[in-house]
Amino acid sequence: MRASQLDAARLDSELTAMLREQFMRIFSLCQPRLITALQPELTLFLDILIFRFTVWSGRPTPGSALMNLRYRNERQASSPAQPGRSGLEGAGLNRMQRTTYGLGVVVLRYIWARTDQLAATQHWGDQPRGSWGRLMWRSMRWAESAFKLASLLNFLLFLRYGRYRSVLERLLGARLVYSKGSMARALSFEYLNRQLVWHELSELLLFLLPLINVGRIKALVIYFLIADGSSGSDSRQLCAICGASEIHVPYSAVPCGHRFCYYCLRARTQSDPSYKCPQCGAGISAMRRWRPGLASIP
């Protein structure tokens, strides 16, 4: 039960973050300074929509629904007039509890975010002692520390008894219980397996690609293509590296004498000292300028 409640809180947080990211894309064409200034109000609008169609309507939050959880009025369920038989019975939150929950989760969060942004822009913490801004800043820090301490104590109690994930839920008596006594949980690992396979393949490629000599592989492919598709006289008229029909600044490889573009041959031999001629496979020890009548292919 504890794991389900914590998983539901994590799912709610991630789903809300995804919705907020998609919602902020609507204003991507607006000025960034304006969006930053109105960030608390935009977040408030989205939180109101989520609260309106979940807790206020008597429905569980998306994370709670995925984990088969719902809110129960624990004060009414634990009263002698409403004894629980299996732990699943009990009415949902009443109107007062839902209203207070909305004030704490939506309104109070907005007030805190807006005040904290105002304190940062006006530098309340740097104002002289005794000033109104400095007092407000210290009060906010004390309130933040007290809330963190209360949240820590509540979390320890939650781990001990399995009730009330947050301080607000404890104050309201809003407890998460299972919606159904038994629910089939068919877990599909297809997506997880696919992600693991792609992750391992990407890691393997990142390891192997630096070890592969792409230039040599390309040269071998061109060599076989030329050997299969061109005659001896025709192959002399084109560069075996780039495939150009007119060799630009022809240079011949030593000792085989095959002709290539100067840039192609120089780039290959500099990047790979053991580069071999793509036409005959012989090693290239040097290169020299080719002129008609001065060099010929053996």
Tokens of 171: 């104050």
Report residue 57 CA to chain centroid gap. 32
pTM of the model: 0.59
> For residue 255, what pLDDT is reported?
85
> For residue 296, what pLDDT is reported?
44
Q: What b/e sequence results for 158-195 when a residue is b if at least 16 CB atoms lie within 10 Å of its CB, and e otherwise?
A: beeeebbbbebbbebbbbbbbeeeeeeeeeeeeeeeee
Tokens of 42: 């935009």
Level-2 CATH architecture, domain 214-289 = 2-Layer Sandwich (3.30)
CA distances 100 to 79, 169, 174, 177, Å, are: 21, 10, 11, 20
At 271-288, the pLDDT tens digits run 878 887 877 778 888 888
> For residue 111, what pLDDT is reported?
94
CA distances 47 to 6, 8, 16, 51, 76, Å, are: 20, 17, 8, 6, 28
Low-confidence ranges of the chain (pLDDT < 70): 77-87, 182-188, 215-216, 218-220, 222-237, 293-298
Q: How far apart are CA 236 and CA 238, in angstroms?
A: 6
> For residue 295, what pLDDT is reported?
46
What's the one-letter identity of residue 234? D
CA atoms within 13 A on the CB side of 49: 9
> For residue 236, what pLDDT is reported?
55
Tokens of 209: 């690609």
At 164-208, the pLDDT tens digits run 999 999 999 999 998 887 665 555 677 778 888 999 999 998 888
Domain ranges in the chain with CATH number 3.30.40.10: 214-289
At residue 288, the 3 state secondary structure works out as strand
